[in-house]
């Protein structure tokens, strides 16, 4: 291969629907309660979730303007109000918090938290306690660090309540009245009523919308309850109640519209995703932003990049999604069609140029010397475009018909380029994200491909993985202090010397499958246990260590190698890749970039889906080094 890595330094009407009975309200709060401080001891633990989408899906938004709003009012009054009603306390939203599963409840309705054991990464204070998700169908445990005041839900809820308050004052002046009855959901389902005392019918000022909201404010309408309406003829009435409600709804619809635009693309939300800091964006927009920054575009709070982009880990915001579908379905449909057309065009196009040269990692710099004509053209086009291209590793051996490169790679962004008069160039790049090649072709001599992004699991799933695997852990003592920093010295016992002959066999060809630690002939197979100093001796020990212990084990190895002036930790290498990073997300990529290990062994990191997996692979490399007595001779740069 001519180009090489440069050696460089630094449904129907609501009142007619028969629905399954929903759980009763779980709160005795007065409708006039003020927001309370976050209390983790007196909270409901679980409540049944009723999906309003069947009502919201009825009567498609096929008109516009006032007529559209009237249809919404007549057919979806109860469902619209239900959107602004807390699932827990059945009152209007008060300090709404959106959970990682996409559902929203009041802050005071958050369930009680409980301490979590066997969770060491990320062990921030707000992640040490969790609560069971109160929504049916979600079996996840959430932590307070992932839940914040939802900015858009809070704003729109206030707008809706203010509009109703103003409309009520005018309805009273106009003598508009509606007779409203809370229907027994058990009887609607054909089951004998279990209600001890029925709520008596009421005559309330206004039309359907105002009457329904009044019951919610007074705490007389459970989240899952249905209503029947009957207008009260009043000779003094000057306007039809439903017509007046339609005007109110049209007004609040117009007021809320500005809040439904993504702050990145400035278009109507499509697949809205709410971050842990409470800000919402289109998922695809956030995807593009997080390619360049790990912070929220609005408040700059650090975000978990990978987990935010997977729908299975972080579903869309339920409230915002249904609000947009209810009030602006025509506009939403137009946006979806346009986006679908764009995506179809991208799928037809092979739009990622591939540089088949070496191995690159996210967050790490890669320096390249470009002199082949085909890659000169590719880099020039990249610089004229979005400055990105993919880096993949060539295959040394392949069967007939196979691609001549590995399917996993890293998307790089050009940060600096230096051109020479003869056409050559030196470029500096930084890794953005991982990808998998779906299909590829040739364009003007170089390879172009369609790719799909490779992401990590969510932090919640990472924590669950650790809790499942951790058993014996030599790294954390009973007081919570790390004791895993004892490394083998020059006087290892005879057993450790015997293990030097037992080495893991690594194939010279990379595998795209998610890697697992191979079984290594080890002390455990002969009945041996971890050493008395507490250091891991076997692959089995690594699998059972906490993530924090794995991190400490790897970082302490780097520290000791630095003290021994290992040649792979030269000033030149540190100038290129920087000092050992403290961030556990970045550390494995840095470690793989600096450690003298074969590229096809390092390639395994690209297929991992969690920080824990990557640290286990790094720890396995360290075990191999220790068993081979490389702790004393790494300065000779022996390669696995």
* DSSP characters over 109-126: GPPPPEE-SS--TT--GG
Helix, strand and coil percent figures for the chain, each rounded to 5: 40, 20, 45
Task: Compute the distance between CA of residue 422 and CA of residue 110 in angstroms, rounded to an integer.
Answer: 66
Task: Compute the distance between CA of residue 494 and CA of residue 498 in angstroms, rounded to an integer.
Answer: 6
pTM higher than 0.75, yes or no?
no
* Residue 480, number of CB atoms within 10 A of its CB: 9
Q: Look at residue 544 and give its three-state secondary structure.
A: helix
Token pair for 603: 């390639």
Q: Would you state the pLDDT for residue 625?
A: 84
Q: Would you state the pLDDT for residue 344?
A: 73
Mean pLDDT highest for which of 64-68, 70-74, 467-471, 518-522? Answer: 467-471
State yes or no: pLDDT of 590 exceeds 50. Answer: yes
Quick one: angle between helices 151-174 and 241-257, nearest 10?
150
Task: Give the CATH fold of the 352-454 domain.
Answer: 2.30.130
The per-residue pLDDT for range 113-171, each reduced to its tens digit, is 988 877 888 878 878 888 999 998 888 889 888 898 999 999 999 999 999 888 888 77
Report which DSSP code applies to 490: T
Q: Domains of the chain: which residue ranges?
A: 21-260, 261-317+335-348, 352-454, 459-636
Domain 261-317+335-348: CATH architecture, name and number where available? 2-Layer Sandwich (3.30)
The per-residue pLDDT for range 385-444, each reduced to its tens digit, is 889 999 999 998 777 778 889 999 999 999 999 998 888 999 999 999 999 999 999 999
Task: Compute the distance between CA of residue 571 and CA of residue 593 in angstroms, rounded to an integer.
Answer: 14
The per-residue pLDDT for range 327-379, each reduced to its tens digit, is 999 999 999 998 888 777 766 678 899 999 999 999 999 999 999 999 999 99
φ, ψ (nearest 5 deg) of residue 446: -110, 165
Task: Compute the distance between CA of residue 22 and CA of residue 142 in angstroms, rounded to an integer.
Answer: 24
Q: What is the mean pLDDT of residues 76-103?
A: 93
H or E stretch covering 463: helix 459-469
Looking from the CA of 553 toward its CB, the CA atoms found within 13 Å total 31
Between vectors from CA 433 to CA 432 and to CA 434, what angle results, nearest 5°? 145
Q: What is the mean pLDDT of residues 97-111?
A: 93
Between vectors from CA 247 to CA 242 and to CA 253, what angle results, nearest 5°? 120
Q: Would you state the pLDDT for residue 309?
A: 61
């Amino acid at each position: 291969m001519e180009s090489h890595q440069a050696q460089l330094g630094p449904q129907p009407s609501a009142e007619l629907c028969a629905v399954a009975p929903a759980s009763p309200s779980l709160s005795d709060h007065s409708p006039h309660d003020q927001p309370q401080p976050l209390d983790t001891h007196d909270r409901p633990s679980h409540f049944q979730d009723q999906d309003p989408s069947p009502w919201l899906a009825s009567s498609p938004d096929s008109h516009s303007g006032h007529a559209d709003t009237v249809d919404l009012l007549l057919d979806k009054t109860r469902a619209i109000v239900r959107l602004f009603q807390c699932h827990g306390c059945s009152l209007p939203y008060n300090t709404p918090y959106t959970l990682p599963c996409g559902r929203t409840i009041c802050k005071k309705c958050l369930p009680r938290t409980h301490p979590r054991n066997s969770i060491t990464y990320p062990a921030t204070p707000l992640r040490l306690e969790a609560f069971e998700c109160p929504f049916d169908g979600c079996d996840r445990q959430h932590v307070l660090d992932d839940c914040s005041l939802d900015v858009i839900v809070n704003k729109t809820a206030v707008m809706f309540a203010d509009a109703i308050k103003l409309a009520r004052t005018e309805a009273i002046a106009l003598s508009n009245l509606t007779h409203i009855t809370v229907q027994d959901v058990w009887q609607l389902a054909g089951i004998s009523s279990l209600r001890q005392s029925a709520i008596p019918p009421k005559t309330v000022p206004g039309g359907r919308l105002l009457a329904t909201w009044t019951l919610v404010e007074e705490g007389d309408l459970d989240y899952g309850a249905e209503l029947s309406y009957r207008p009260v003829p009043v000779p003094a009435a000057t306007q039809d109640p439903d017509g007046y409600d339609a005007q109110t709804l049209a007004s609040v619809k117009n007021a809320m519209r500005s809040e439904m635009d993504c702050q990145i693309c400035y278009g109507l939300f499509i697949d809205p995703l709410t971050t842990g800091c409470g800000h919402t964006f289109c998922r695809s927009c956030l995807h593009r932003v997080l390619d360049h920054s790990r912070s929220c575009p609005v408040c700059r709070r650090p975000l978990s990049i990978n987990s935010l982009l997977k729908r299975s880990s972080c579903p869309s915001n339920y409230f915002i999604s249904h609000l947009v579908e209810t009030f602006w379905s025509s506009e939403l449909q137009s946006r979806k069609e346009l986006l679908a057309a764009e995506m179809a065009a991208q799928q037809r196009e092979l739009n990622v140029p591939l540089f088949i040269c070496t191995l690159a990692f996210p967050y790490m710099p890669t320096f390249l010397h470009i002199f082949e004509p085909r890659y000169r053209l590719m880099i020039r086009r990249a610089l004229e475009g979005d400055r990105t291209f993919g880096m993949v590793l060539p295959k040394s051996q392949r069967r007939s018909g196979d691609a001549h490169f590995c399917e996993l790679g890293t998307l790089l962004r050009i940060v600096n380029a230096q051109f020479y008069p003869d056409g050559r160039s030196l470029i500096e790049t930084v890794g953005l994200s991982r990808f998998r090649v779906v299909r590829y072709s040739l364009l003007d001599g170089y390879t172009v491909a369609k790719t799909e992004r490779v992401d990590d699991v969510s932090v919640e799933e990472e924590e669950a993985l650790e809790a499942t695997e951790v058993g014996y852990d030599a790294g954390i003592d009973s007081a919570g202090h790390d004791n895993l920093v004892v490394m083998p010295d020059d006087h290892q016992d005879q057993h450790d010397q015997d293990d030097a002959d037992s080495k893991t066999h690594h194939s010279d060809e990379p595998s795209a499958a998610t890697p697992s630690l191979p079984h290594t002939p080890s002390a455990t197979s002969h009945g041996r246990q971890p050493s008395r100093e507490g250091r891991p001796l076997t692959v089995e020990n690594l699998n059972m260590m906490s993530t924090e212990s794995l991190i400490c084990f790897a970082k302490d190895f780097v520290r000791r190698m630095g003290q021994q002036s290992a040649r792979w930790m030269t000033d030149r290498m540190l100038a290129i890749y920087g000092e050992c990073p403290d961030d556990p997300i970045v550390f494995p990529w840095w470690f793989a970039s600096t450690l003298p290990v074969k590229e096809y062994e390092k390639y395994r990191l690209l297929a991992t889906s969690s920080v824990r997996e990557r640290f286990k692979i790094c720890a396995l490399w360290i075990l191999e080094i220790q068993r081979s007595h490389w702790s004393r001779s790494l300065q000779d740069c022996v390669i696995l």
